[in-house]
Amino acid sequence: MEYFNGKEQKSQCNPERSTLFWNHLRHEAKKNPFDIEEYVFDEKDTVYSVNRHEKELISSMVDPVKGNIKYIMRLTYRNTFRLNFSREDPTKDEEANRSYKFLKVVMTQKVRYSPDVTEKVQMEFAKNFVYDRNTILCVPESFHDPNRFENSLQIATRIEAWFGIYIGVKELSNGDPVLNFAINEKLFMNAPKMSLLDYLLLVIDPGTSNDDVRNEKKRELKEGNLTITVYSRKRIDQYLGNIKLKCSEVWDDSVKRMAERHLTYIELSDKNSHEMMVESRVGRGKDVKTFHVPLFKIYEKNNKHIEFPMLPLVNVKSGSKIYCVPIEHLELHEKPQRFKGWIDFAMQEKFIQACTRKPHNYKTKTIEMLQNLDFTAEELNFVQKFSLSADLKMITCTGKVLKEPKLVNRDNKQVEMTPIIRGFKEKTLNVVPEKELCCALFVLRDDYDQYPCLDENEAYSFYDALINGCEARGIKIGTHENPRARSILYNASENKYGFYKDVTLKNGARCFEAAANNAKNMFDELPDKENKILIFIVVCDQKLDAYGFIKHYCDVTLGVASQFIRVVTVKKALRELQQEKTSRKIFFNLALKVNAKLGGVNQELNYSVNAETSPEEKEQRKNMPLTMYVGIDVTHPTAGSGIDYSIASIVASINPGGTLYRNQIIVQQEWNPGEIPTGKEKTDILEKNS
C-alpha cells in the first residue's frame, strides 16, 4: 500500500494503513457492490477473504482533501490454507501458527475496523473500544463526556488505567480451539475534550469535576483579576508538558489574521494579554506606519473577547512556529495513546488499589464487556461471514500433561532424569544460626545535638519491622508479651532492656563504650545465653563519623557482631511503612546482612542442605572430596617509608559450599635488638593457621 505526491511523484510509506485499506475497500464496493465483512486485515501486509481473487486487485483513490495525493492499493492472491489448530504434529507448526493468527484477526476485526463518518453505529462502537497488542480495552466515558469521571481510573495527571481483556487462542485436550480471555489493565495517556483552562482547574483541584464548582472558580479568577505565580507556573508546565491542543483563534503575526491551528503545549508565558505587544501597521507603501498594540486589543478588534486578561498567555507551537494564545481559547485535542514511561511508587500504589477487584466483580465486568462487544451482531459481523460461530461461556479445561523430555549426553546416549523433591519456603535462607537472635539497640547522638537521631517511638517501630524481616527470612526470633520487644536483650531480675536510646560516641557517661560494655555484661549474665547469639544494632547520623570506631570496638575489643545503619536508611524504611508500602526490601536486605554476620548462609550454589536434590544425591555429595578456598597476601613497607613492619593475612573457607570463611591478620615486626633471627618470621603465620 502506497501513496504518490503529485509534485514529486515518489512512492512514500504511509502509517495509517488500516484506515486507507478500509477506505479503498469501501471505494471499490461502490463500483462493484460486495460485503466488506468478507475481508479482514491484520494491519500489516496480509488480507484474508472468503472470496478467491485469481487476478490482482488494484484500487486507486485520490485524497478528497489533498487533491495532489493519490493512493494505490494492490491485493495479490497468495494461496489458500486449511485451518489446523492441533500442535501434536511438529511438522505442521507453521500451519497451526497461521490458523491461530487467522482466528485472532477475524475475532478482533470488529474492534480494529476504521469506519466511515457516515457509519453512525460503527463510529459509536469505535469510540467505546480500542485495540492494543492482542488486548481490547474499554475507553472511559470521561474521554467523551467531561462531566463523568467515575469510569476513568486516573493514577496521575493525564495517565489513566483502562480495563480490557487479552485474547489468546488455546487448544483443548481434545484438539478443539478456544478463545481464552484474560483480564488486563493498561495505562493510557488521556485527556477529556474541554478547554485548557477547565482542564487545568481539574488537575489542580479534582473537586472542580463538577461544572458548578468549576464555574465558581472561574468567576473568582475573573472578578479578582488573579494570575499565576512563577513557582506555580513550573508545576503547571510539568502537568501539561507536550499536551496536544487545538485553537481556531490563533493570531498569526506572519499573515496578520486569526487562524486555526493544531498546537503543542510548550510553557506558560511570563506575560499576559495586556503585556504582550504585537506589531501593527497602518497605511501602504511609503506611508505605512508601524506601532505596537497589546494582544488584548488585537483579539478585541476581531470580536474575540479575552475573559481572563491577567492570566499568563500560553506558548504553543505548530511545526516550527511558536504562538502566544490566551489560555481560555485553547481546547484539548489529544488522542488516547499508550503510556510507556516509568511510574513512581505512588503511582504504582494507586494503580494497584484502583485496578484490584474482587473475583466476582472481575467476572461480571468481563462478561458485560464481552456482551457489549457482541462479535456476532448484525453490524460488522466478520465472524459469521467467515462461517465461524462464537459461544460465550465459562468452561473447565483439563490440564495437558507434557511428555517427559529425553536428555542425551555428548555420546548421544540417553540420560535418566534425576527425581526432584520440590520444597519451597518463601524468603527463607539456606542456613540460619541455630541459636535464637538476641539484639541490643543503640541510637547515637552527636555531642552538639540536643536529641538523638531517632526518637523512642521511631526506634521501636524500626526494630519491630526489622525483627519481622528476620523472622520472614527464617532466623529464629524470641517471644515476648510485647511484640515490639521480641528478641531484644532483657534482664528479668532487673527488668532492664538492652535499648540505649541516647548514646554519645566517645564523651560522657552515656558514651558508646559504656553502653556496649553494659550490654555485653548483661548478655553474659543471662542464664540461657548458650542458646542465644548477640548482635548490636547501631543507628547513627551520617554526619557523625562513627563507623570505623564502632566496628573496631565491637569486633576487636568485645568480639560481638554489629549491624551499623544510617538514620537516613531507617527513616526511608519507616516512611514506606507509613505509606502502607507492600515492599519491605530494606528490612529483608538488613536481615540478610544480620544472618551472614551471625554465621548463616544466604545463598549456596554448589552444595546446600535445603537444595532441591534427592536424598541419594545428598549422600553422594557428603562422600565427595571437600574443597577449601584459601587466600594469602602480605604487604611489605617500601624503602624509605620509615615503617618497620609487614602485614600478613590469610582467609579460608570452612564449609563444603565455600560460603563460610575465617581469617586472621598478623603484624610482623623486625626482631628487637639482642634477639637472634630464626629465619621463620615469614612462616609463623601459616603455622598458626595450619
Per-residue pLDDT at 563 = 94
Whole-angstrom CA distances from 575 to 20, 135, 461, 462, 586 are 54, 37, 11, 10, 11
Q: Decide: 502 and 444 in contact? Cβ < 8 Å.
A: no
Which is more confident, 665 or 403?
665
Q: Are residues 553 and 640 in the same domain?
A: no
Nearest to 218 by CA among 314, 330, 331, 327: 327
Taking the C-alpha atoms of residue 289 and residue 657, their distance in angstroms, rounded to an integer, is 92
The pLDDT confidence band at residue 438, using thresholds 50, 70 and 90, is very high
User: Which residue's C-alpha cell is 456482551?
Assistant: 371
pLDDT single digits (tens) 250-268: 988 888 888 888 899 999 9
Q: Decide: 240 and 285 in contact? Cβ < 8 Å.
A: no
For the chain, what percent of residues have pLDDT higher than 90? 12
Which is more confident, 690 or 514?
514
Q: Which three cell numbers stand for residue 585?
A: 526490601
- The answer to the question of residue 383 being in a domain is no
Which is more confident, 7 or 345?
345
Q: Are residues 440 and 569 in the same domain?
A: yes
Q: Decide: 197 and 268 in contact? Cβ < 8 Å.
A: no
SS3 assignment, position 530: helix
The pLDDT confidence band at residue 632, using thresholds 50, 70 and 90, is very high
Q: Decide: 622 and 448 in contact? Cβ < 8 Å.
A: no
Q: Are residues 440 and 584 in the same domain?
A: yes
User: Which residue's C-alpha cell is 566517645?
Assistant: 506
Per-residue pLDDT at 353 = 76
Per-residue pLDDT at 675 = 60
Per-residue pLDDT at 402 = 67
**Residue that finishes a domain, picked among 550, 582, 597:** 597
**Is the torsion defined by CA of 206, 212, 216, 221 positive or negative?**
positive
Q: Are residues 545 and 474 in the same domain?
A: yes
Per-residue pLDDT at 609 = 52
Q: Are residues 217 and 272 in the same domain?
A: yes
Per-residue pLDDT at 613 = 56
Whole-angstrom CA distances from 681 to 120, 203, 457, 649, 673 are 98, 77, 55, 14, 15
The pLDDT confidence band at residue 141, using thresholds 50, 70 and 90, is low
Q: Are residues 509 and 642 in the same domain?
A: no
Q: Which three cell numbers stand for residue 222?
A: 475573573
The strand pair at 177-189 and 159-171 is best described as antiparallel
pLDDT of 47 above 80: yes
SS3 assignment, position 628: coil
Nearest to 689 by CA among 670, 661, 669: 661
Per-residue pLDDT at 130 = 84
Single pTM value for the model? 0.47
User: Which residue's C-alpha cell is 485499506?
Assistant: 21
Q: Are residues 233 and 328 in the same domain?
A: yes
- The answer to the question of residue 55 being in a domain is no
Enumerate residues 6+ apart whose C-beta is below 8 A from 514: none
Q: Which three cell numbers stand for residue 685?
A: 603465620
The separation between CA 176 and the C-alpha centre of its own chain, rounded to angstroms, equals 37
The range of the structural domain enclosing residue 324 comes to: 196-335
- The answer to the question of residue 328 being in a domain is yes
Q: Decide: 553 and 513 in contact? Cβ < 8 Å.
A: yes
pLDDT of 442 above 90: yes
pLDDT of 517 above 80: yes
Q: Strand locations in 146-216, DSSP E?
A: 153-156, 159-171, 177-189
pLDDT of 167 above 50: yes
pLDDT of 149 above 50: no
pLDDT of 206 above 70: no
For the chain, what percent of residues have pLDDT higher than 70? 84
Q: Which three cell numbers stand for residue 220?
A: 473568582
Taking the C-alpha atoms of residue 603 and residue 431, their distance in angstroms, rounded to an integer, is 8
Lowest mean pLDDT, pick from 123-127, 412-416, 421-425, 437-441 = 421-425
Q: Decide: 539 and 427 in contact? Cβ < 8 Å.
A: no
Per-residue pLDDT at 427 = 41
The strand pair at 153-156 and 159-171 is best described as antiparallel
Q: Decide: 106 and 387 in contact? Cβ < 8 Å.
A: no
pLDDT of 174 above 80: no
Largest CA distance in the chain: 119
| For range 46-65, the mean pLDDT | 84
pLDDT of 356 above 60: yes
**Residue that finishes a domain, picked among 597, 622, 652:** 597
- The answer to the question of residue 406 being in a domain is no
Alpha helices (runs of H) in 313-358, residue ranges in sequence order:
345-355
Q: Are residues 223 and 293 in the same domain?
A: yes
Q: Are residues 593 and 461 in the same domain?
A: yes
CB neighbourhood size of 362 (10 A): 13
- The answer to the question of residue 200 being in a domain is yes
Taking the C-alpha atoms of residue 456 and residue 578, their distance in angstroms, rounded to an integer, is 16
Domain total of the chain: 3
Nearest to 500 by CA among 525, 520, 519: 519
φ/ψ bin of 124: left (φ > 0), alpha (ψ from -120 to 50), beta (otherwise): alpha
Question: Phi first, then psi: what are they for 586, rounded to 5°?
Answer: -60, -45
| 285: CATH | 2.170.260.10
- What value does the mean pLDDT of the chain take? 79
pLDDT of 426 above 50: no
Alpha helices (runs of H) in 90-132, residue ranges in sequence order:
93-112, 120-128
pLDDT single digits (tens) 538-555: 999 877 788 889 999 998
| For range 337-363, the mean pLDDT | 76
**Residue that finishes a domain, picked among 575, 597, 619:** 597
Question: Phi first, then psi: what are they for 162, rounded to 5°?
Answer: -110, 135
Question: Phi first, then psi: what are they for 602, rounded to 5°?
Answer: -80, -45
Query: How many residues does the structure list for the chain?
Result: 690
Per-residue pLDDT at 659 = 76
Nearest to 591 by CA among 674, 468, 445: 468
CB neighbourhood size of 126 (10 A): 17
Which is more confident, 180 or 115?
115
DSSP 157: T
pLDDT single digits (tens) 299-334: 888 888 888 888 899 999 988 899 999 998 998 887
- The answer to the question of residue 322 being in a domain is yes
Per-residue pLDDT at 537 = 95
pLDDT single digits (tens) 651-690: 998 877 777 788 888 877 666 655 655 555 544 444 544 4
Per-residue pLDDT at 422 = 35
End-to-end CA distance of the chain: 80
Which is more confident, 542 or 192?
542
Q: Are residues 450 and 556 in the same domain?
A: yes
- The answer to the question of residue 508 being in a domain is yes
Half-sphere exposure in the Cβ direction for 127 (13 Å, CA): 13
Q: Are residues 588 and 452 in the same domain?
A: yes
Which is more confident, 642 or 27?
27
- The answer to the question of residue 667 being in a domain is yes
Q: Which three cell numbers stand for residue 475?
A: 532466623
Whole-angstrom CA distances from 402 to 88, 406, 416 are 11, 12, 17
Q: Are residues 561 and 671 in the same domain?
A: no
